[in-house]
Every structure is written in C-alpha cells, then in structure tokens.
Amino acid sequence: MGFLKDHSNLLVGLDKDDPLSPYLFIIGVEALSRLIQDVEDGGVIKRVPMGHSKMSISHLFYADDCLLFSKILEEMSREIIPSGSKSSHPYDIYLGLPTLIGRDRTRGFNHILDRNDERRIHWCSWDKMKLSKSNGGLGFRDLELFNLAMLAKQGWRLLHYPNSFAARVLFAKYYPKVNTVCQIPISVFNRPNKLVWRCSQNGLFSVRSAYHLQVESQLSSRGQSSSVANENKKWKNLWKLPITNAEKLFLWKACQDILPTKCNLVKKRVIEDPFCPFCCSKEKDVLHALWGCAVAKDIWSSCSLNFQKMNDNFINFRELVMFFLSELEEKHLA
C-alpha cells in the first residue's frame, strides 16, 4: 500500500535503456491523449469521419509519432502541439532520408543514388546475394518480399481481430462492406468459418512462412534444373566446413567469380593487362590464380594430399570446389 508524498525533483534524467523509461513514455502519451480529448470537447478541433461510416477519429499514436486529424487554425495549434516538436522542411533529413519528398521522387532520392555510385565496383548482384546459402547465395532477405509478408501479417490480424481499433478504422475507410462478406457461410454444415494458414503445421500465419513461400514461388517461376538438389547439398557442405567464416566467405566469392583478379579487373575497365604476372602465359582468372598457376601448385604440393596429381580439366573454380566437396572425405577437408 502506497502513501502520498511531496513532489520530488529528479537531478538526472532516465536513460532510454532504463526499464522504467517505456512506462513513463506510456504515461506521457496517455496524458497527451487526454489533453487532445479536452481540446476536442472544447470545440477547438473536430473529429474526421472515416469514409461514409459513423466512425470518426481525432488522433492516432504509433510508437513515438502522433497523427492529428482535424481542421484547425494555425494559432490554435500551439495549444495542442508540444513545445518539443517542430515542423518539417524540404531540406530536413531523418535516418538518411528526406522528410518531405513531394511529387518529384527521383529528385528527392538523387543524393542517395549519387553517393552509392561514387566509383565503386559492384562485384555481385543482389539477386544472387539474397538467395539462401543452400542455393548459392548469402541468405540476405529480399526486402520487397519481406515487406509483403509483413503486410500479409497485418491482413491476418485484421481478419482475426475485426473489433480492434485499427481494423475498425481501415474497414470503415476502405472496406465498408467487409463484414457482410465475412459473414457469408462457406461450410454446408452450418459451422462457423475458420481461417487456416496452410504453410504452417499449426495453421497459424507467420511472417517466416509467408516469406519463404514467396521465395519458393519466385524460384519455381524461373525454373530449375534436375541437378539443383545435388548442388544445394554441396553448398551446404561448403558452409559446414570446419574453417573460419572469413575463409568460407572467400571460398564463396571464388566460386561466384567475384574476386578482384586481373581478368575481372579488365572486365571492370580498371586495368588493361589480364595476364598472370608470375607465369605470363595465361590470363589470371580465379581458377588460374588459386589452382592452375605454377606458384599456386607449389603451395598445393605442400598439402598432405596429392592435389597436383588430380584432374586439371576444370572449367572454373566453382566446378573445382564442387568436385572437392563431392569426392573427398570430410576428414580431408578439415
């Protein structure tokens, strides 16, 4: 049981990582909501109707943002907007992006594109990097597909919680007849309708399953060869090798032919001479630099296995690595 005490003055503010900080933020947001409600009751602002329904709103909170909906005079806004807030200008930047874009989106993002294209060599496309590691990529998420999965999650929540505030606002604004559609019986046995997500074992929607469903659909639309399953197994074995992550990444780059060899630098128009500076007889690509060159063979000869006696008729370094992963025993690859 608590007791009422006198006011206390804090000498040091709370850090954002303090466990008490979120609760104080919620209290502050609740107080702001009450102040807006008082101004609304005083007739200073009026609620904005959502579509043709009877529902109307005056403000929305999302994280640390507040959206006000009303026709309000400029001099009256000072009574509502806190003193710590400020208006946005066209030249303001937030998280590296312009706060106001306008109709000319190309002009708004030109400075980002120009900054990313400052004489940088692009070695690998994003389409390869976003593939899973078992498919020869690095496992980066496709932001567009992930965003669609997140939007699908919101749709799933709207259908399961139709009485929530967000659902009532969106349905009133964009789907005024959604309740009529949802009440249409599907089963002939007069049972209540139930939504089931077929891509999960428990029938519940998850962003992870929705994302992988889109990735699989995208891969199947492009078509795959019959040897994909065997090659996927080899890629998995590459990432399971008992070596450091830096060495695994180097092997992956070598297999993708994105190392800065002289051949690749010639293709990028950085240099003009593609020949190996040691043997001066062949062009220095990844296979020659790491396997075919006499200097590389001298290094391989110091290995416990007789690599120099193996087949030398490989098209590229990726074919060589895949041959090692399939033919050699795991103890020899350690």
Report pLDDT digits (tens) over 283-300.
889 998 998 888 888 888
Within 13 Å of residue 87, how many CA atoms lie on the same side as its CB?
5
Residues 300, 307: contact at Cβ < 8 Å? yes
Quick: pLDDT tens for 81-120.
Answer: 554 455 555 556 655 666 666 666 666 666 666 665 555 7
The pLDDT, as a whole number, for residue 254 is: 93
Beta-strand relationship, 56-57 and 93-94: unpaired
Residue 197: count of CB within 10 angstroms of its CB: 16
pLDDT digits (tens, 9 = 90+) for 1-44: 556 667 666 666 667 677 777 788 888 888 888 888 888 888 77
Q: Where are the alpha helices (DSSP H) in the chain?
A: 21-41, 105-108, 110-116, 126-129, 143-160, 165-174, 178-182, 207-222, 228-239, 245-255, 262-267, 286-287, 294-301, 317-327, 330-333
Residues 69 and 59: their CA atoms lie apart, in Å, by 6
Nearest to 296 by CA among 271, 314, 272, 269: 314
What tens digit of pLDDT does each residue of 135-186 get? Answer: 888 988 888 999 999 999 998 888 888 888 888 888 887 777 766 666 666 6
Q: For residues 250 and 273, what is the distance between their CA atoms, to the nearest angstrom?
A: 24
For the cut 90, the answer to whether the pLDDT of residue 237 exceeds it is: no
**pLDDT tens for each residue of 253-268:** 999 999 999 999 999 8
Q: Give the pLDDT band of residue 195 (cuts 50, 70, 90).
A: confident
Mean pLDDT of 204-212: 90
pLDDT band (50, 70, 90) for residue 56: confident
Looking at residue 148, its pLDDT comes to 93
pLDDT at position 200: 85
Q: How far is CA 85 from CA 14, 64, 77, 101, in A?
A: 20, 11, 12, 20
pLDDT tier for residue 69 given thresholds of 50, 70 and 90: confident
Secondary structure (H, E, C), 125-194: CHHHHCCCHHHCCCCCCCHHHHHHHHHHHHHHHHHHCCCCHHHHHHHHHHCCCHHHHHCCCCCCCCCCCC
Q: Are 289 and 296 in contact (CB under 8 A)?
A: yes
Banded model confidence at residue 242, pLDDT cuts 50, 70, 90 = confident
